[in-house]
């Protein structure tokens, strides 16, 4: 139960994978220590991405020190054959390896996006060529959009998928995950803690791990988090009635308030990047208070204030989120947070 074979690849890894996002926001020395500690503990699957800034290079340095085989996954948002091939080269340089086990087309968000990926000169062909050359082991794709992912799984063009799955967004288990299992695709779970919004992290992690056949990737930014998650992996996966109730309560708390980043609501009448606004709390949690003073963040926030409440986006959101109301709440929340940190700029 603690280790598993990734379907059809012959590769065995720990079911708990280390996610590379938080490694960007801590000092390099600490990041290398966290990765090294996770490897010492027994985690031998690490996921990162080209656009996680320094994450790849820090993982590369830690792997060099570890001196043992770690299964690595990286991703690129480039949608062209040549572009993704160049990104693979950059990833290999940063990770200091001559072969990357899994390489994913990162965050395919819509049917149009998927068409770009699968076009003749698209990223999928870049991955296939790289596989032929032996620089990557397996082709993969990640998406937050469950419907797009369902189509991807139906088409069966990629060997592995990476999909969001947690107690507040369990929808992938309705169709995408069982279908991918049937087709013997490797399944990586991202955001088991919904990007940190879940208030019962240990239970949420146990819940995600309780589904067999999934590799659960989560970001860890210190040794205590590695210990906690490693402990959950080693423990049993049953739940008391009280725990089941807490999971249900947490799920209900977010029902109708959780943005799945699927982008169906867009385009907004006045070009507000809706999902970016609704991800603000999460971004601040990931990148820290400094996010609140970044110029690009300010620009995004200002655009939220332009909402004319036409309600066009409401009709398109499959989760019936009260988008204009949620955006107003977030603007208020940012004002409050800024006054809390007492930033001289505001």
Q: Which residues bind ligand SF4 (CB under 6 A)?
A: 259-265, 268-270, 272, 274-275, 278, 307-313, 317, 319, 321, 323-324
Q: Are the beta carbons of 208 and 163 closer than 8 angstroms? A: no
Instruction: For the CB of residue 275, give the shortest distance to ligand SF4 in the complex, in Å.
Output: 4
Instruction: For the CB of residue 9, give the shortest distance to ligand SF4 in the complex, in Å.
Output: 32
For residue 42 the two structure tokens come to 């027994």
For residue 14 the two structure tokens come to 């720990």
E strand intervals along the chain = 3-6, 11-14, 16-19, 45-47, 71-76, 100-105, 136-143, 160-164, 186-190, 215-219
Instruction: For the CB of residue 318, give the shortest distance to ligand SF4 in the complex, in Å.
Output: 6
Of 18 and 146, which CB lies nearer to ligand SF4 in the complex structure?
Answer: 146
Instruction: For the CB of residue 267, give the shortest distance to ligand SF4 in the complex, in Å.
Output: 8
For residue 143 the two structure tokens come to 């998406």
- Angle at the Cα of 189 from the Cα atoms of 183 and 192, rounded to 5 degrees: 150
Instruction: For the CB of residue 197, give the shortest distance to ligand SF4 in the complex, in Å.
Output: 13
Q: Give the contacts of 86 (CB within 8 A, at least 6 positions apart).
A: 78
Of 136 and 197, which CB lies nearer to ligand SF4 in the complex structure?
Answer: 197
Of 25 and 260, which CB lies nearer to ligand SF4 in the complex structure?
Answer: 260
Instruction: For the CB of residue 166, give the shortest distance to ligand SF4 in the complex, in Å.
Output: 15
- Rounded to 5 degrees, φ, ψ at 77 are -95, 0
Instruction: For the CB of residue 198, give the shortest distance to ligand SF4 in the complex, in Å.
Output: 17
Of 83 and 273, which CB lies nearer to ligand SF4 in the complex structure?
Answer: 273
Instruction: For the CB of residue 218, give the shortest distance to ligand SF4 in the complex, in Å.
Output: 22
Strands 3-6 vs 11-14: parallel, antiparallel or unpaired: antiparallel
Of 88 and 304, which CB lies nearer to ligand SF4 in the complex structure?
Answer: 304
Per-residue burial over 253-277, b = 16 or more CB atoms within 10 Å of its CB, e = otherwise = ebeeebbbbbbbbbebeeebbbbbb
Give the three-state DSSP class for 19. Answer: strand
Of 177 and 313, which CB lies nearer to ligand SF4 in the complex structure?
Answer: 313
Of 1 and 270, which CB lies nearer to ligand SF4 in the complex structure?
Answer: 270
Task: Indicate the burial class of 157 (C-beta count within 10 angstroms; 0-12, 13-18, 19 or more).
Answer: middle
Of 106, 100, 70, 72, whose CA–CA distance to 88 is shortest?
A: 100
Rounded CA separation 238/233 (Å): 12
Of 143, 139, 70, 145, whose CA–CA distance to 104 is shortest?
A: 139
Instruction: For the CB of residue 111, give the shortest distance to ligand SF4 in the complex, in Å.
Output: 14
Of 45 and 144, which CB lies nearer to ligand SF4 in the complex structure?
Answer: 144
Residue with token string 């968000």: 109
Of 310 and 341, which CB lies nearer to ligand SF4 in the complex structure?
Answer: 310
């Amino acid at each position: 139960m603690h280790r598993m074979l990734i379907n059809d690849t012959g590769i065995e890894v720990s079911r708990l994978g280390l996610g590379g996002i938080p490694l960007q926001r801590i000092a390099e020395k600490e990041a290398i220590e966290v990765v090294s500690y996770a490897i010492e503990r027994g985690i031998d699957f690490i996921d990162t991405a080209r656009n996680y800034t320094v994450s790849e290079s820090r993982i590369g340095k830690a792997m060099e020190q570890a001196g043992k085989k770690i299964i690595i996954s990286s991703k690129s948002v480039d949608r062209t054959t040549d572009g993704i091939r160049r990104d693979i080269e950059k990833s290999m340089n940063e990770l200091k390896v001559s072969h990357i086990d899994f390489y994913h087309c990162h965050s395919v968000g819509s049917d149009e996006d998927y068409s770009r990926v699968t076009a003749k000169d698209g990223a999928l062909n870049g991955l296939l060529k790289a596989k032929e050359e032996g620089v990557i082991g397996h082709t993969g794709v990640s998406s937050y959009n469950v419907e797009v992912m369902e189509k991807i799984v139906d088409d069966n063009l990629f060997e592995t998928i990476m999909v969001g799955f947690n107690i507040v967004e369990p929808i992938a288990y309705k169709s995408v995950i069982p279908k991918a299992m049937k087709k013997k695709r490797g399944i990586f779970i991202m955001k088991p803690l919904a990007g940190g919004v879940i208030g019962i992290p240990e239970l949420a992690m146990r819940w995600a791990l309780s589904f067999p056949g999934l590799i659960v990737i989560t970001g860890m930014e210190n040794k205590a988090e590695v210990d906690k998650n490693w402990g959950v992996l080693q423990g049993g996966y049953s739940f008391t009635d009280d725990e089941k109730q807490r999971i249900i309560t947490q799920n209900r708390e977010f029902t109708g308030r959780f943005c799945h980043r699927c982008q169906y609501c867009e385009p907004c009448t006045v070009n507000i990047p809706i999902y970016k606004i609704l991800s603000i709390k999460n971004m601040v949690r990931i990148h820290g208070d400094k996010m609140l003073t970044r110029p690009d963040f300010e620009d995004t926030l200002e655009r939220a204030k332009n909402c004319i409440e036409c309600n066009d986006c409401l009709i398109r959101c499959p989760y019936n989120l009260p988008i204009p109301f949620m955006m107003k709440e977030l603007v208020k929340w940012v004002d409050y947070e800024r006054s809390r940190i007492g930033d001289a700029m505001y």
